[in-house]
């Protein structure tokens, strides 16, 4: 037996409606602005990879997360195990991104096992792709008192078959946001593998959203939001409140579902601000480039630098340039004081500078505002009524 999807009340439906409206608005914006959309998608993908691994204390800088997503060299201070973990999760999420185009797609145990293998293949003693053969515990601050005890290993195959059946045929009338959250919850409650269950739960959550097809998974995933230190604590609290310390499928999943919907609402707000920022900044960077007689294509280089950093090889690929063209463009940006170099040789990047940096900061200020708390807003309205 799996944890059941709670009956949605009016508050849940209102929050879902707001999220869906934001997703539709984002879809229109993204389709209308292809010049910066690709770079923004890549930035969100890198943030998701970084966020999901940070939850597991697998920590890399945003710069190295970008490098992993772009197929570039990570910095020398990233140890081999960490690098392999980041690249494995990148590979699994890259597969997830392709699934909306797979006409023959269906959920299956081997699909989940394959994703798990991609994520954990760097650590064969942890049995990537193979169900655990013994008990499992999620540790707490007190090693003598586990935060969660998974079901016995002998019932894991049956529970996973039930989960796969539900993924294919269960609750199909529910919104994808709800199904994704429940898939995430049930997988981490079953805890079928010796390690990597949290990453797989988040990966499956994003997979369910990707298959919905309304918006690219990079714009829908909550992994970036969950990776924030404060939100990670809230994430574990929501799981613990719902799980009750052990596998109890009869428990009410509403605390978890409301947490997940709140996370989606806030992530949608964040992505919308990134879109608003990108629209404003791109216009300003076009003006900056034109005033200096720079090729129009250099706007994408300046935009990349504003997002975090410009890599010459990535710019070269994005704009389909020769190596010499890309070098000349970047040198021109340095000459005009619009970017500045950092690092040496293969890890060299360029940071936004000068009037381009001023445009970036002004664009940030223009879209910055407090995050809305959807359920708290509803409660405040109820008290005022």
Q: What are 288-300's pLDDT values in tens digits?
A: 999 999 999 999 9
Q: Count Cβ atoms below 10 Å from residue 195 Cβ, excluding itself.
A: 19
- CATH 1.10.3290.10 residue spans of the chain: 10-272
Q: Compare 340 and 31 and report the one with higher pLDDT.
A: 340
> For residues 212 and 99, is the Cβ–Cβ distance under 8 A?
no
High-pLDDT (> 70) share of the chain, %? 98
Quick one: CA torsion of 234, 240, 242, 246, rounded to 10 degrees?
A: 160
**Is the confidence at residue 345, as pLDDT, over 90?**
no
Question: Read out DSSP for 308-326?
Answer: T-B-HHHHHHHTT--HHHH
CA 78 to chain CA centroid, Å, is 21
Q: Compare 71 and 110 and report the one with higher pLDDT.
A: 110
Over residues 187-245, the pLDDT tens digits come to 999 999 999 999 999 999 999 999 987 667 778 889 999 999 999 999 999 999 999 99
Q: Tell me the mean pLDDT in the region 23-32.
A: 80
- CATH 1.10.10.10 residue spans of the chain: 275-367
> Considering the entire predicted model, what is its pTM?
0.92
High-pLDDT (> 90) share of the chain, %? 83
Q: In angstroms, how far is the first alpha carbon of the chain from the final one? A: 41
- pLDDT band per the 50, 70, 90 thresholds, residue 165: very high
pLDDT computed for residue 364 by the predictor = 97
H runs (alpha helix) in the chain: 10-32, 34-55, 62-70, 80-98, 109-120, 156-169, 176-190, 197-212, 217-220, 223-227, 229-243, 254-291, 298-307, 312-318, 323-335, 354-367, 374-384
pLDDT computed for residue 217 by the predictor = 73
Which residue carries 């894991």 as its tokens? 156
Q: Compare 16 and 139 and report the one with higher pLDDT.
A: 16
User: Which of 41, 94, 43, 87 lies closest to 203 in space, CA to CA?
Assistant: 94
* Residues sharing a CB contact under 8 Å with residue 155, sequence separation 6 or more, in sequence order: none
Whole-number Å distance between alpha carbons of 95 and 88: 11
- The CA R_g of the chain, rounded to the nearest whole Å, is 22
The fold adopted by the segment(s) 10-272 is: Fic-like fold (1.10.3290)
**Is the confidence at residue 252, as pLDDT, over 80?**
yes
The fold adopted by the segment(s) 275-367 is: Arc Repressor Mutant, subunit A (1.10.10)
Locate 80 and state its tokens. Answer: 């081999």
Question: Read out DSSP for 41-102?
Answer: HHHHHHHHHHHHHHHTT----HHHHHHHHHTPPPPTTS-HHHHHHHHHHHHHHHHHHHGGG-
Buried b / exposed e over 22-46, threshold 16 CB at 10 Å, is bbeebeebbeeeeebbebbbbbbbb
Q: Count Cβ atoms below 10 Å from residue 169 Cβ, excluding itself.
A: 9
Rounded mean pLDDT of the chain? 93
Sign, CA torsion 115/117/122/123: positive
């Amino acid at each position: 037996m799996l944890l059941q999807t709670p009956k949605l009340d009016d508050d849940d439906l209102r929050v879902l409606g707001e999220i869906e409206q934001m997703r539709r608005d984002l879809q229109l914006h993204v389709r209308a602005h292809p010049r910066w959309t690709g770079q923004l998608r890549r930035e969100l993908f890198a943030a998701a990879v970084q966020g999901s691994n940070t939850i597991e204390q697998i920590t890399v800088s945003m710069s190295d997360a970008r490098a992993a997503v772009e197929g570039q060299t990570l910095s020398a201070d990233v140890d081999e195990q960490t690098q392999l973990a980041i690249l494995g999760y990148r590979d699994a999420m890259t597969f997830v991104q392709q699934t909306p185009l797979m006409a023959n797609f269906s959920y299956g145990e081997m699909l989940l096992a394959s994703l798990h293998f991609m994520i954990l293949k760097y650590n064969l003693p942890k049995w990537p792709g193979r169900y655990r053969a013994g008990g499992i515990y999620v540790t707490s601050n007190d090693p003598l008192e586990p935060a969660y005890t998974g079901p016995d290993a002998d019932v894991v195959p049956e529970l996973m078959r039930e989960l796969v059946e539900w993924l294919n045929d269960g609750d199909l009338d529910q919104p994808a946001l709800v199904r994704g959250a429940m898939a995430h919850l049930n997988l981490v409650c079953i805890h079928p593998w010796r390690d990597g269950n949290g990453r797989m739960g988040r990966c499956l959550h994003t997979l369910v959203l990707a298959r919905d097809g309304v918006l690219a998974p990079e714009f829908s995933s909550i992994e970036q939001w969950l990776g924030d230190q404060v939100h990670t604590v809230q994430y574990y609290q929501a799981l613990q409140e719902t799980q009750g310390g052990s596998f109890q499928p009869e428990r009410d999943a509403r605390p978890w579902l409301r947490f997940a919907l709140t996370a989606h609402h806030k992530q949608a707000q964040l992505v919308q601000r990134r879109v608003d920022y990108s629209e404003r900044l791109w216009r300003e960077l076009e003006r900056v480039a034109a005033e200096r007689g720079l090729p129009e294509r250099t706007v994408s280089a300046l935009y990349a630098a504003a997002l975090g950093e410009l890599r010459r090889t990535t710019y070269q690929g994005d704009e389909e340039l020769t190596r010499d063209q890309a070098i000349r463009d970047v040198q021109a940006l340095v000459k005009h004081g619009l970017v500045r170099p950092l690092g040496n040789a293969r890890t060299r990047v360029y940071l936004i500078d000068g009037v381009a940096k001023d445009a970036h900061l002004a664009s940030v200020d223009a879209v910055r505002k407090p995050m809305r708390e959807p359920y708290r807003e509803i409660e405040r309205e109820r008290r005022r009524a």
